[in-house]
Structure 1
Amino acid sequence: MNITHTKTVTVPVSDQDKAKAFYVSALGFEVLVDQQTGPVRWLQVAPRGAQTSFTLATADQGFTPGSAAGLILETTDLDADCAALREAGAAVEGPTDLPWGRQATLTDPDGNAFVLAAPSRS
C-alpha cells in the first residue's frame, strides 16, 4: 500500500453558507474550493496548510446533516482555542485531562461532533 494520508473528509451540513461561516469564522479554516457545478455546490475548507480538508455536503448530495462524529482536530493551544470557540458561539465541553492527554469536544451548528486535542506529551 502507498497511502500517505486522508485527503478529504465529508462533513454533512444542512446549510452550506451557515457551515462555511462557522468553519471559517469560528475554526479559522480557509476556503479551498467553493464552486457550483450544475445543481451541486462543492465547498471544501481546511486549516491553513493541512493535508486533509473537509467537504461540506448537503442532504441533496446524499448526506445526513449532523451525522459526522469522532473527527479529531489537533491544536497547539487547547485552552486558547476553546476560549476562542466559545467566544464565537460554538458549543464546547472541556478541556478535560485524560490518561492519554487533554481534549475538548465541540459541535458545529448541525451537530457534527469533533474532538479538539492537544498533542500527546509522551
Structure 2
Amino acid sequence: MDWKIELVAIPVTDVDRAKDFYTKIGFNADFDESPTEGIRFVQLTPPGSACSICIGTGITEAAPGSVEGMQVVVASAEAVYEQLVAAGVEATPVKDMGWGLFTFFADPDGNKWAVQELPNRG
C-alpha cells in the first residue's frame, strides 16, 4: 500500500498575508474556503509538486512560525534564489553544501524553508 504525503499544515498568524506571500513566490492557490464557522482552509501547491501546504484558521494548534525544515527540490537553486529576491523575499545566497546547492528563506511568520538543487549524479 502506498503512503503519500499530500498536505502539510503551515501555522500562520495572518492567513491573507501568508496567502499573498506564497502566491507571490509562485505557489498556486488551489482552494480557499470556510467550510464551517471558525475554520478557513487555504491550500497552496508549489509548481510541479504532488504535495501541497495548507494555511488557515482552525486547522492546526502549532505556533505560527514554528515550522523548520520544509524542503523543496528544484532544477536550479540559483533561479529560485533570483525569483525569491525579485519577489522581495530575503533568501540566502546559493551555497554548495556537498549534497546539493541550497538557498534558504522564511515566510512572514518565520516558518523556515530550504530549497535544494540535487547534485548531478551523472
In the superposition, the TM-score normalised over structure 2's length comes to 0.89
Identity of aligned residues (%): 28
The equivalent of 2:14 in structure 1 is 15
Unaligned runs of 5+ residues in structure 2 are none
Higher share of residues assigned strand: 1
Three-state SS of the structure 2 residue aligned to 1:14 is coil
Unaligned runs of 5+ residues in structure 1 are none
Task: Map Cα deviations across residues 49-78 of structure 1 (whole Å, 9 max, x no partner).
Answer: 421000113478423110011011111121
Matched length: 120
Three-state SS of the structure 1 residue aligned to 2:44 is strand
Q: 1:117 and 1:110, CA in 2 relative to 1: closer, same or farther beyond 3 A?
A: same
| Aligned alpha-carbon RMSD (Å) | 1.7
Contact 1:13 1:59 in 2 (8 A): no
Q: 1:25 and 1:47, CA in 2 relative to 1: closer, same or farther beyond 3 A?
A: same
Structure-1 separation of matches of 2:77 and 2:11: 25
4+ aligned runs moved over 4 Å, structure 1: 58-61
Equivalent AA in structure 1 for residue 28 of structure 2: E
Task: Map Cα deviations across residues 9-64 of structure 1 (whole Å, 9 max, x no partner).
Answer: 111111110000111012x0111110012210000100234210001134784231
Q: 1:100 and 1:61, CA in 2 relative to 1: closer, same or farther beyond 3 A?
A: closer
The equivalent of 2:30 in structure 1 is 32
Structure-2 separation of matches of 1:35 and 1:45: 12
